Amino acid sequence: MITGAAPEPSVTTRIPVDLSRFDNSDFPKGAGRLKMTLWYFTNALFFINPLFPFRRVKPVLLRLFGAKVGRGVVIHPGVNIKYPWKLIIGDHCWIGQRAWLDNIDRLTLGDHVVISQGAMLILGSHDYKKADYPTMSGPVTLEDGSWVGAGAMVLMNVTLRSHSMLAAGSVATRDLEAYTIYRGNPARPARERIITA
């Protein structure tokens, strides 16, 4: 019989995150440096600025920067929009105070969509499995009549189907089915959304 010390358990080498290696230069932003700089100041002065309450000029400014914006769109003060050239807004949509449209990918709003105050639409993230944290993105679609409640969050690659509703403070990580109210983190179906005339 051979005796001796027990073999040492295998040790997995863990690689740490190294943000000094992060390089976002090849991420498709969809615009050149001049256009992005002009939008940065336009966004700060006319959209994020809570002291600029005038609504009618905002759809015009978005169109000038390449957004497709329908009729009757209401954008309240304090709204932050990342890239208007990746934004489509249908008719009669409302975007509430301090909403954050982090649309580094295509964001599509159908007709009669509501994004309530403080809601966040996050179309990007980082690959946490890689040491250099590369940027990832995916589109978000809010179909006709859908509603993102106050302080709620919609993550990339999510679609809110026709007239679905994400309750206040909830987080949508997957598609929401039509005419259904979702709540929680992650959001789960709570009940049917019934709309009366």
Query: For residue 107, what are the domain limits?
Result: 29-191
Instruction: Give the whole-number percent of the chain exceeding pLDDT 70.
Output: 94
Q: What is the pLDDT of residue 108?
A: 98
pLDDT of 12 strictly over 80 = no
Query: Mean pLDDT lowest for which of 52-56, 71-75, 108-112, 155-159?
Result: 52-56
pLDDT of 6 strictly over 80 = no
Mean pLDDT of the chain: 94
**Any domain includes 39:** yes
Domain with 141 in it: what CATH number?
2.160.10.10
pLDDT tens per residue, range 37-50: 999 999 999 999 99
Domain count, the chain: 1
pLDDT of 137 strictly over 90 = yes
pLDDT of 1 strictly over 80 = no
Which 3-state string (H, E, C) describes the chain? CCCCCCCCCCCCCCCCCCHHHCCCCCCCCCCCHHHHHHHHHHHHHHHHCCCCCCCCHHHHHHHHCCCEECCCCEECCCCEECCHHHEEECCCCEECCCCEEECCCCEEECCCCEECCCCEEECEEECCCCCCCCEEECCEEECCCCEECCCCEEECCEEECCCCEECCCCEECCCECCCEEEECCCCEEEEECCCCC
**Any domain includes 8:** no
**Any domain includes 9:** no
**Any domain includes 19:** no
Instruction: Give the whole-number percent of the chain exceeding pLDDT 90.
Output: 90
**Any domain includes 153:** yes
